[in-house]
Amino acid sequence: MSAPDTHSADQVGRVAGAIWRIESAKLIAVLARLLRSVDLAEELAQDAFVEALESWRKNGIPNNPGGWLMTAGRHRALDALRHTRRVERKHEQIEREQQGSLTADFDEASDGVIADDLLRLMFVACHPVLSQEGRVALTLRLLGGLTTVEIGRAFLVPEATVAQRITRAKRLLAEKEIAYELPQPADLRARLESVLEVIYLVFNEGYLASAGDDWIRPALCEDALRLGRTLSQLVPTESEVHALLSLMEIQASRAHARTGPNGEAVLLLDQDRSRWDTLLVRRGLEGLKHAESLIQRGPGPYLLQAAIAGCHARAAESRDTDWPRIAALYAALMHIAPSPVVELNRAVAAGMAFGPAIGLAIVDPLLDDPDLSDYPFLPSVRADLLAKLGRFAEAKTAVERAAALARNARERALFLQRAAEYERSGER
Amino acid sequence: MRYLVLVGHDEKGGKALSPEQHQALFAAYQKYEADLKQAGVLLGGEPLKGSDQGVRISSQGGKRKLLDGPFSESKEIIGGYFVLEVKSRDEAVEWAARCPAAQLGVWSYVELREIQEIPR
């Protein structure tokens, strides 16, 4: 134990905050197994944290603060269970028996047991009965260690809304009597998909938030990466888990390169690749290789997306990009997870690989797709292909259409600039 | 924020360990690494071979100067490193404090350094 006077109250608070960030998910996960209630587990974990703060302010920070917190939490859970059982007036004999097994449950859990607890908590927080918003909020709160205030700021909603989503999600888990257990092997894939979806949603929320905004929004990328890394340790044999992590790491590697000096978006092919984060690129490509080695029944959607991201990551210059391979990967993705946006991306890749006429042949049928009727990048891609074919008048009309659909002034300005270029090229 | 956890130790102290102590230390590092991975904060890291296999390079009067290890004049050497990604300095300190080298006594220590992001 450190001497009490060596820690100012503020220092204890900061250290305790760091401990909470490191330990809270494990603590809540272990308590949820013992108590069979996520709600009660979180409450008691917070109580234990308050107890820790008080004790550490008085006595100094212990050598093993994580273990201290876990023990305090277990004691609270044991008290709560004893109390419930007394209220239930169980026969004395039964109570004694149960307490035997109860204390066994409370013995120091091995690392393997804690890992299972964490995984169970992830599955429950991302349970398909919950709304997507509920899953995201619960996951960030229980597994990411974020406060309701932080989640609200990150998702641009009032704190009360987040609190409501969490309460509703917990109530739903209790009402539907969601068992606090790992999914059956038959359900594993589907349930895992829900977990991966939540993590990628958090990542994209952070990724789409432009730099210079509130720092907490881009920080969501880090939260998602962290959850993805944890999951890859807990479910080490699933290809899609490693694939999602690889995809996120490769995308995150471009974070610094995707905005210009005035905060404008810089498209992938125009980025200064020397600004990519080489550590994340390397990790992402290694993760991709590992995910590929784990493929069982054909590549999953995250693997294909990671492989596409990997093609870009491997190209030292944008002109070195392996477009035929990217076009093939998009075709494979269309096969297992079809969407008009994927098809549009396939058109871009095919246009780069095999010529603008081939790309245009893929784009044109999309003009009738209602899902893309307001999507500015459809006419934008079409304009680019038309211009490459020398059809400048049509290209100009298309990019003007894109400008009309633009979602912000900066985007619109870029489209109009292209319209002017096409007009000049057409006159030559 | 990225941090470098530098594992420093006195080479003689390491050599004085019994085989059992060596094994226990190895297990402690395995556990530490597993914990870092499960928490999702580990980006990389490796142990380093002894300084007797290292070399120091500098220049003197415009000429390259090589000094082969072991570097007997320095008491402590770097034995390995971890690269962590965390949200705060406090979190980095807490993780660094859990490194076995920070818990073995005077012959080993951990130095925590924040990695400078180069604005490009």
- Count other C-beta atoms under 10 Å from residue A9's C-beta: 10
Q: How far is B20 from chain A (nearest CA, A)?
A: 22
Q: Does B104 touch chain A (CB under 8 A)?
A: no
Inter-chain residue contact B87 with A274, CB threshold 8 Å: no
Q: How far is A180 from chain B (nearest CA, A)?
A: 21
Please name the residues between 5 and 34 in chain A that touch chain B, using a CB distance below 8 Å: 14-15, 17-19, 21-22
Q: What is the pLDDT of residue A87?
A: 64
Options 3.30.70.260, 3.30.70.890, 3.30.70.20, 3.30.70.1060; CATH of B2-114:
3.30.70.1060
Q: Which residues share a beta bridge with B64?
A: B59
pLDDT of residue A130 exceeding 70: yes
**Quick check: helix, strand or coil at residue B5?**
strand
| Edge-to-edge strand list for the sheet holding B42-47 | B42-47, B76-85, B2-10, B108-114
A vs B: CB pairs below 8 A: 58
The torsion angles phi and psi of B39, rounded to 5 degrees, stand at: -75, -10
Instruction: Please name the residue of chain A whose CA is at the shortest distance from the CA of residue B89.
Output: A18
Name the pLDDT band for A94 (thresholds 50, 70, 90): very low
Report percent pLDDT > 70 for chain A.
91
Q: Does A226 touch chain B (CB under 8 A)?
A: yes
**Quick check: helix, strand or coil at residue B93?**
helix
Candidates B90, B93, B103, partner chain A, best to mutate (most A CBs within 10 A): B90
Place of tokens 């809270």: A24
- Count other C-beta atoms under 10 Å from residue A125's C-beta: 30
Q: Does B93 touch chain A (CB under 8 A)?
A: yes
Q: What is the pLDDT of residue A6?
A: 46
CA A282, CA A203: separation in Å to the nearest integer?
Answer: 19
Inter-chain residue contact B40 with A225, CB threshold 8 Å: yes
Residues on chain A touching B116 (C-beta within 8 angstroms): none
Q: Does B33 touch chain A (CB under 8 A)?
A: no
Q: Which residues share a beta bridge with A274?
A: none
Name the pLDDT band for A105 (thresholds 50, 70, 90): low
Q: How far is B5 from chain A (nearest CA, A)?
A: 16
Q: Does B20 touch chain A (CB under 8 A)?
A: no
Amino acid at position A426, single letter: G
CA A300, CA A341: separation in Å to the nearest integer?
Answer: 17
Nearest to A18 among B34, B94, B120 (CB): B94
User: pLDDT by residue (tens digit) across A133-144?
Assistant: 999 999 999 999
Q: Is the pTM of this model over 0.80?
A: yes
Q: What is the pLDDT of residue A13?
A: 87
Instruction: Please name the residue of chain B whose CA is at the shortest distance from the CA of residue A283.
Output: B43
ipTM of the complex: 0.90
Q: Does A234 touch chain B (CB under 8 A)?
A: yes
Q: How far is A194 from chain B (nearest CA, A)?
A: 20
Q: How far is A401 from chain B (nearest CA, A)?
A: 35
CA B43, CA B37: separation in Å to the nearest integer?
Answer: 8
Name the pLDDT band for A2 (thresholds 50, 70, 90): very low
